[in-house]
Chain A
Amino acid sequence: MKRISMMGCPNVGKSVLFSRLTGVNVISSNYPGTTVDFTKGYTRIGGEKFELIDVPGTYSLEPISKAEEVARTMLQEADIIINVVDATHMERNLYLTLEILGMKKPTIIALNLWDEAKHIGIDIDVRQLEKLLGVPVVPTCAITGEGVKALTLKLRAAKQSEQIKPMTEEERWRKIGEIIRKVQVVHHRHHTIWEHIADITVKPATGIPIAMIVIFLIFLFIIQIGNLIIEYLMDPIFYNYYGPWIVEFVTAFYPEGLVHEILIGNSTLESLNFTQSFGLLTTGLYVPFDMVLPFVVTFYIMLSLLEDTGYLPRLAVLVDTGLHKLGLHGSAIVPTILGLGCNVPGALATRIMETEKQRFIAATLMAIAVPCMAQSAMIFGILGKYGMRWILMVYGTLALLYISLGLVLKRIIKGESPELLLEVPPYRKPDPVTLLKKTWTKAYGFLVEAVPFVLLGVFVMNLLYISGVIELLSGLFSPVLTTLLGLPKEAIVALIMGFLRKDIAVGMLLPLGMTPQQLTISCVILSTYFPCVATFVVLLKELGIRDMLKATGLMLIVSLTVGVLMRAILI
């Protein structure tokens, strides 16, 4: 099978074009411009099947970071290159184009954002551009799909450029100047309403209040819509249909005994008890599907909106000053926000930070103080009924930890903290199809990752209970838990479970009959003491064993200290 690599600068619409060209079976989703992970899919053009690769966006092939190295390798391994060029920023996009054409691979150019270029008054002579570059050029508008068909039809005409030779940097810039003069005419530009909004949202006096409102609205939306989905869709399904059916079904085969216990716990037709029965087919499915999935879906819709409209980089600019005090810079908002969804992509996204010091700080702060959506959903679930202030106390404590730890780490970790340098793209209308596809990929990814772990966790816990190991451990750890933290010694089960999955671990606090104070302390400790195993593995790969040991030590110390302090204040 031939391989097509799609290459281009960041923010040229490569992902949208990619999802236009590929079917649904796309492997691994990437966060535009943030990680070196790439996306791979398949496409059928003229009866032939191709492998299509969405190469991470870079401005150049010069290896200044991992992203360019990866891009260069992928270029060399490809049979055909589709170079996606932003028609509204030809000048700087052509640098990469000339580098690619110098590599002598069959290439075709998609001149994307063609609609946008026309809209703001940029005329480009496509025929002339083709002649100067020596490869086919097809104007496209990825969001409407215009020109995409023409692009696939012309794919076979992709060829090596005769005109463009490998050249030095100065020669390239000179050549670009020449090309631009010959093919591009810019008419009078009028300030659009979106440009005014763009300015308002990045000026501090207006931008900071707007950012606060946006963040507040996003959280409100996630919580409200998540709750609506639970109330009107998931709960009815579980309580009216699935619950009674599964109880009857299991009871028909195993009226009682060990298997009955493990499968549905103490659920009965009268009391389904999904949250506390701790059966594989009751709690094990109810927690991920009913209590967590609705929030995960709404979270990823909001995240995609933030990404695709172009608001995220503006947020990065506004928080840059503050994050500098923590040894980071504005871009660190990306791993933090991703971490609020799931710590695994959050950990991967720490790669956008330039130095080892910044990566360590970003990763450690995320692992300690940023609870994932699955965990948050459960925290809302168990603390919500005691009132908002307990939830605020959990998040307030975590935010305080994020800041104070950052202040300390900035001082004690050696290394450099470089400054922000970031393109702030214009606001764009997000494409609903791409948005839904992205959300689907991530929600699906959540289910595939979470459900097996939850089930495994529930199963192992059942075995540990039955074999008496839990009793042993809770006896062993009871000095720490009861004396230091003021928690019942049975809380050890949640801490054990927390190594596997944080959501179900929070759920395990429910049957222990704790006070809201104890629950609050437990939630904070569960967030901070150790990342879940999936995050741990990724962090180990990203940071290396030495830094990971440092981070882990820090987590344990911080968690215990905060727990003891909270106990002194609350209980």
Chain B
Amino acid sequence: MSGRDVKVTPLTALLPGEKARIVALGHGKGRQRHLRTMGLMEGKIVEMVAMQPARGPLVINVDGTQIAIGLGMARRILIEKM
């Protein structure tokens, strides 16, 4: 960790093509396990692939796996942009 400011934002702030590191999954224990078994884990790099219009789901890429996730759920996942 360097002393520089890292800005933690929700996953929804990422634009298509941008990458970020996952900081926290921010859900209940059961949902967290589910997310981890799908490959979404703290410390992993996510890339935004696509955002569907009209508050539709996001498609993200983690370790070469694409995951579609609803906007509400994505808001609770925290990332730091790189």
Chain A proximity mask over B22-61: 1 for CB below 8 Å, otherwise 0: 0000000010011111110100000001111111110100
Interface of B is mostly: mixed
Interface residues of A in 404-435 (CB under 8 A from B): 418-426
Known contacts A207-B50, A420-B57, A424-B59: A198-B70 contact under CB 8 Å: no
Tell me if A320 is interfacial: C-beta within 8 Å of chain B.
yes
Residue in contact with A424 in the complex, picked from B33, B54, B56, B66, CB distance below 8 Å: B66
Residue in contact with A317 in the complex, picked from B33, B59, B63, CB distance below 8 Å: B59
Chain B proximity mask over A5-39: 1 for CB below 8 Å, otherwise 0: 00001000000000000000000000000000000
Contact residues in B for A120 (Cβ distance below 8 Å): 64
A419 and B71 form a contact (CB under 8 A): yes
A317 and B37 form a contact (CB under 8 A): no
In whole angstroms, how far apart are the Cα atoms of A422 and B52 in the complex? 14
Contact residues in A for B64 (Cβ distance below 8 Å): 88-89, 120, 189, 426
Contact residues in A for B50 (Cβ distance below 8 Å): 199, 202-204, 207
Residue in contact with A95 in the complex, picked from B37, B57, B72, CB distance below 8 Å: B37
Q: Which of A58-66, A296-304, A341-349, A381-389 forms contacts with chain B?
A: A58-66
B68 and A59 form a contact (CB under 8 A): no
Tell me if B67 is interfacial: C-beta within 8 Å of chain A.
yes
Known contacts A95-B36, A420-B57, A421-B73: A199-B68 contact under CB 8 Å: no
Contact residues in B for A175 (Cβ distance below 8 Å): none
Contact residues in B for A198 (Cβ distance below 8 Å): 66
Contact residues in A for B55 (Cβ distance below 8 Å): 321
Contact residues in B for A423 (Cβ distance below 8 Å): 38, 65-68
Tell me if A316 is interfacial: C-beta within 8 Å of chain B.
yes
In chain A, what residue has the closest Cβ to B59? A202
How many residues of B sit at the interface, in one of the four size bands? 20 to 34
In whole angstroms, how far apart are the Cα atoms of A202 and B33 in the complex? 26
In chain B, what residue has the closest Cβ to A10? B38
Contact residues in B for A446 (Cβ distance below 8 Å): none
A169 and B68 form a contact (CB under 8 A): no
Contact residues in B for A374 (Cβ distance below 8 Å): none
Number of A-B contacts (CB under 8 A): 105
Tell me if A159 is interfacial: C-beta within 8 Å of chain B.
no
In whole angstroms, how far apart are the Cα atoms of A423 and B67 in the complex? 4
Contact residues in A for B66 (Cβ distance below 8 Å): 198, 202, 423-426
A330 and B68 form a contact (CB under 8 A): yes
Tell me if A438 is interfacial: C-beta within 8 Å of chain B.
no
In whole angstroms, how far apart are the Cα atoms of A53 and B65 in the complex? 27
Contact residues in A for B6 (Cβ distance below 8 Å): none
Tell me if A542 is interfacial: C-beta within 8 Å of chain B.
no
Tell me if A92 is interfacial: C-beta within 8 Å of chain B.
yes
Residues of A within 8 Å of B, CB-based: how many? Answer: 39
Tell me if B13 is interfacial: C-beta within 8 Å of chain A.
no
B57 and A317 form a contact (CB under 8 A): yes
In chain A, what residue has the closest Cβ to B37? A59
In whole angstroms, how far apart are the Cα atoms of A320 and B59 in the complex? 12
Interface residues of A in 304-333 (CB under 8 A from B): 313, 316-318, 320-321, 324, 329-330
Contact residues in A for B35 (Cβ distance below 8 Å): 421
Contact residues in B for A551 (Cβ distance below 8 Å): none
Q: Give the one of A95, A316, A422 with max B CB within 10 A.
A: A422
Contact residues in B for A421 (Cβ distance below 8 Å): 34-35, 38, 67-70, 73
A320 and B68 form a contact (CB under 8 A): yes
Q: Give the one of B33, B39, B59, B72 with max A CB within 10 A.
A: B59
A173 and B36 form a contact (CB under 8 A): yes
A419 and B73 form a contact (CB under 8 A): yes
Min CB–CB distance A415 → chain B (angstroms): 16
Tell me if A130 is interfacial: C-beta within 8 Å of chain B.
no
Tell me if A96 is interfacial: C-beta within 8 Å of chain B.
yes
Min CB–CB distance B69 → chain A (angstroms): 5
In chain B, what residue has the closest Cβ to A95? B37
Residue in contact with B52 in the complex, picked from A62, A313, A320, CB distance below 8 Å: A320
Contact residues in B for A9 (Cβ distance below 8 Å): 37
B52 and A424 form a contact (CB under 8 A): no
B68 and A92 form a contact (CB under 8 A): no
Tell me if A91 is interfacial: C-beta within 8 Å of chain B.
yes
In whole angstroms, how far apart are the Cα atoms of A423 and B52 in the complex? 16
Contact residues in B for A316 (Cβ distance below 8 Å): 68
Min CB–CB distance A100 → chain B (angstroms): 13
Contact residues in B for A329 (Cβ distance below 8 Å): 70
Given contacts A59-B38, A313-B68, A419-B73, 4 further A-B contacts (CB under 8 A): A329-B70, A421-B70, A424-B59, A425-B66
Name 27 interchain pairs, CB-CB below 8 A, sorted by A. Answer: A59-B38, A64-B30, A64-B34, A88-B64, A91-B39, A95-B37, A96-B37, A120-B64, A169-B33, A173-B41, A189-B64, A198-B66, A202-B50, A202-B66, A204-B50, A204-B52, A207-B50, A313-B68, A320-B52, A320-B56, A320-B68, A321-B53, A330-B68, A418-B70, A419-B71, A422-B67, A423-B67
Residues on B close to A: CB < 8 A?
16, 30, 33-39, 41, 49-57, 59, 63-73
Residues on A close to B: CB < 8 A?
9, 59-60, 62, 64, 88-89, 91-92, 95-96, 120, 169, 173, 189, 198-199, 202-204, 207, 313, 316-318, 320-321, 324, 329-330, 418-426
Nearest first, the 8 A-B pairs at minimum CB distance are A419-B70, A321-B56, A59-B37, A424-B66, A203-B50, A317-B68, A422-B68, A92-B39
